[in-house]
Amino acid sequence: MSFDLAVIGLGYVGLPLAQEATRSGLAVLGLDSDPEVVQGLMAGRTAVDDVSSDEVRAMVAAGFVPTTDPSLLAQADAVVVCVPTPLSDEGGPDLSAVLAATDAVAAALRPGQLVVLESTTYPGTTETVVRPRLERGGLVVGTDVHLAFSPERIDPGNRRHTLRTTPKVVGGCTSACTRRAADLYGRLVDQVVVAASPREAEMSKLLENTYRHVNIALVNETARFCHELDIDIWDVVRCAATKPFGFQSFRPGPGVGGHCIPIDPSYLSYAVKAQLGYPFRFVELAQEINQSMPGYVARRVQDLLNEQGRAVKGSRVLLVGTTYKPDIADQRETPAYGVARALRALGAVLRQHDHLAPSLVVDGDPVDGLDELLPGAADVAVVLQHHSALDVGALRAAAPVVLDTSGTLEVAEQVVRL
């Protein structure tokens, strides 16, 4: 059997890519090292927010083949690597999964194949790390096989900007490599943007998320001094956002979370320091500010309890919405971890409620969960994420005061915004 495309890594990036390719009429192979993931997909089950179980069953019915067998990669015309790159102990990307995937591709590589790396990493990875491993067997990139980088731009939970409608950046090691990759993605997305080389494509991903990271830090720090000056930061942002040019709206929150914003800028900072010998000060300052926000939230809780004549120690604090963004079940790098740690250090008795992610384990210690919001459940409730299904009436009954870090609840005597 032959395949138009093989996708390595069937998580939040790889599975939507495989789905769009299947919808577009391509014969798609999906490779994952986790047998449970593959078995679940074959049975029509999903572990990815943006692809439902019904959609997985439709993919399989249309010919999508999930597997753990890397030898099948030889049967694919194109291979896209979508494996995770978490932070290493040194602060750069942990490329162990990329290296394992590259070696699997190299073992099955044949003339004419296209290989694309989508995993986020520092500039130069495609050309200096992936390319040499692919060429060990004698096939030459640009002559015998093609190699490119195309950064993933998945935004979990975003139904407006889908994979197909989001422009795809592509940078190949040669012009022929770029053309092959652009032709592939041209079948899957509405617009392909050609970068000068893999380095520019790699850098574009880091710039996108560093931009967001820095601007989130700006509004988070502004929120802190606005509170001290008795200025409503949420109204400030609302008013500023009416300017039709020169301003993009960012909102404060309890910290940053997810697969990109807390991680990707570190890759760039790491690369600058390792290759040029000096720090990327904007990134380091933004990290300092955003990482301090969970502690700031804990101090605001402490202030609210003081106003009730209560100490934090022994008080019941309810964390509401523990995922990293609204209406998804993903807890990767969620600020809820930092908020829970800070409140535990102050002696608070924690409980949490999130119907999408009913368990929260912080440093190996689970936080007691509430399946539903009960009257009088806490002395203070903290809204970290406002899922659309949140019962606001039940929330108000659950605690005498609510700290809303999402800025979505209507301000009232009982509700205080960050």
The catalytic residues are 260
385 closest CA partner among 326, 301, 309: 326
The one-letter amino acid code at 208 reads E
Q: What is the bridge-based pairing of β-strands 146-149 and 380-383?
A: unpaired
Cα 130 from Cα 116, distance rounded (Å): 10
E strands along 195-301, which residues? Answer: none
Tokens matching residue 404: 């809303």
- Is the Cα torsion angle 28, 54, 42, 116 positive or negative in sign? positive
Cα 354 from Cα 332, distance rounded (Å): 15
DSSP H or E segment with residue 403: strand 402-404
Whole-number Cα distances in Å, 237 to 300, 387, 407 = 21, 21, 11
Q: What is the bridge-based pairing of β-strands 28-31 and 3-8?
A: parallel
Q: What 3-state class would DSSP assign to 55?
A: helix
The one-letter amino acid code at 50 reads D
The one-letter amino acid code at 148 reads A
Cα 121 from Cα 388, distance rounded (Å): 33
Tokens matching residue 164: 């197909």
DSSP H or E segment with residue 192: strand 192-194
Residue with tokens 């301000």: 411
The answer to whether 401 touches 409, Cβ cutoff 8 Å, is: no
DSSP H or E segment with residue 114: strand 114-117
The C-alpha angle with vertex 65 and arms to 63 and 66, in degrees rounded to 5, equals: 150
Max alpha carbon distance in the chain (Å)? Answer: 74
Q: Which residues pair with 148 in a beta bridge?
A: 116, 172
Tokens matching residue 260: 């990109």
